[in-house]
Amino acid sequence: MKHIFNKGTDSTDLTLLLLHGTGGSERDLLPLADVIDPDANVLSVLGNINENGMARFFKRLGPGVFDEDDLKFQTKELNSFLDKAAEDYGFDRKKVVAVGYSNGANIAGSLLFHYSDALAGAILHHPMVPLRGLDLPDLTGLPVFIGAGTNDPICPPEESTELENLLSEAGAEVTLHWENYGHQLTSTEVQAASEWFAAQKNRLD
């Protein structure tokens, strides 16, 4: 997978996995990493799927309708890529925290739905429920931040609360933060995620 890796001040420290939204690039969320943890390693990935010139992490059948078979396949591919990247760059595979927006948050959520040890934590900006009908792995104690919009036309509030409930039922410790700016990723939401991360960092380390 095409990506950018920036080594932090300590290669054994946390690695932020940046996952952009539809039509984005591997450079889109780099400014978020500077806000969240300027000392961490950064692994920013470009989605493998090209949808009418827009990069995505998995196919969809229509707006808000995921191609579930491809989502499962791409989730497995991303998890394997993380294993390989950890070997190549020498970072701790057990200390990867995803930071995803929209489509990127959805595939990060899918990692959580499929693997108990893919991520040490996650910041999910405006995610949907990636899949339904799955038995989630044991996520006991895994910290998750969900940034959601009360008036998000792409990700309705019901999606956010359902995702919170599903992750919590699997044992994750979920913080749900609400904004009132639709699907937009705002500076106040990023700041809230940064403050949440700072409070969680000792546990993640």
Does an H or E element contain 101, and which? strand 96-101
Q: Which residues of 141-180 are buried (b: 16+ CB within 10 A; e: fewer)?
A: ebbbbbbbbeebeebbeebbeebbebbeebebbbbbbebe
Of the residues 28, 37, 152, 160, only one is catalytic, namely 152
Amino acid residing at 170: A
Of the residues 44, 102, 110, 160, only one is catalytic, namely 102
Task: Report the alpha-carbon distance of residue 124 to residue 149 in Å, rounded.
Answer: 12
- Whether 168 is catalytic is no
- Whether 152 is catalytic is yes
Helix (H, G, I), strand (E, B) or coil at 95: helix
Residues that are catalytic: 102, 152, 183
